[in-house]
């Protein structure tokens, strides 16, 4: 049984909304991974001597990528 034009439009709209929600959730998850990585690295740096406490953006993004890869695996 074929869908009417209105039903097909509703199906396509629902699919587009689901895709947009999935993309937004992915961005939120990546942002949370970056936040967690930053907090973890900064907290861990507190136990080091003052001259060794540098936490760079590369450190944070690398750790966030590792967290994301672990979660996605």
Spatial separation of the C-alpha atoms in residues 39 and 60, rounded to whole Å: 9
Number of domains in the chain: 1
| 4: in domain | no
Q: Is residue 56, in this structure, part of any structural domain at all? A: yes
In a domain, 2, yes or no: no
Residue identified by tokens 């999935």 is: 22
In this predicted structure, the answer to whether residue 72 has a pLDDT above a threshold of 90 is: no
- CA 27/CA 24 separation, integer angstroms: 5
Structural domain contains residue 7: no
Whether residue 5 lies inside any domain: the answer is: no
The domain in which residue 61 lies consists of: 12-72
Contact, 37 vs 64, CB < 8 A? yes
User: pLDDT tens across 4-58, in order?
Assistant: 999 999 999 999 999 999 999 999 999 999 999 999 999 999 999 988 889 999 9
């Amino acid at each position: 049984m074929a869908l009417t034009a209105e039903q097909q439009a509703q199906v396509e709209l629902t699919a587009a909304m689901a895709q947009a929600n999935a993309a937004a959730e992915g961005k939120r998850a990546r942002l949370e991974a970056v936040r967690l990585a930053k907090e973890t690295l900064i907290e861990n740096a507190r136990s080091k001597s003052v001259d060794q406490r540098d936490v760079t953006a590369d450190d944070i993004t690398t750790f966030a990528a590792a967290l994301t890869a672990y979660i996605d695996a």
